[in-house]
Amino acid sequence: MDAARAYLHVGDLLRAGRALVDAERTAPAEIRCRPLARTVIADVARGGPMPAGVAHLAALVGLTR
């Protein structure tokens, strides 16, 4: 999660998305349940076209329909 936030902070949305997907594989509950994770996923999603993994995460946490 910290890596995703750091990449987001410097504007690297692709790496932020990859870090989120990797974190979800390692600790799914952390990504699906933490409010901070939802915020980072939403920020990455708003930044432009989402990689498929980020779109999947956004759907899992209820940010898209």
State the pLDDT at residue 15. 93
Main-chain phi, psi angles of 48, to 5 degrees:
150, -160
Tens-level pLDDT at each residue, the chain (65 residues) = 899 999 999 999 999 999 999 999 999 998 888 999 999 999 998 887 877 888 899 998 888 75
How many beta carbons lie within 10 A of that of residue 59, not counting itself?
12
How many beta carbons lie within 10 A of that of residue 56, not counting itself?
13
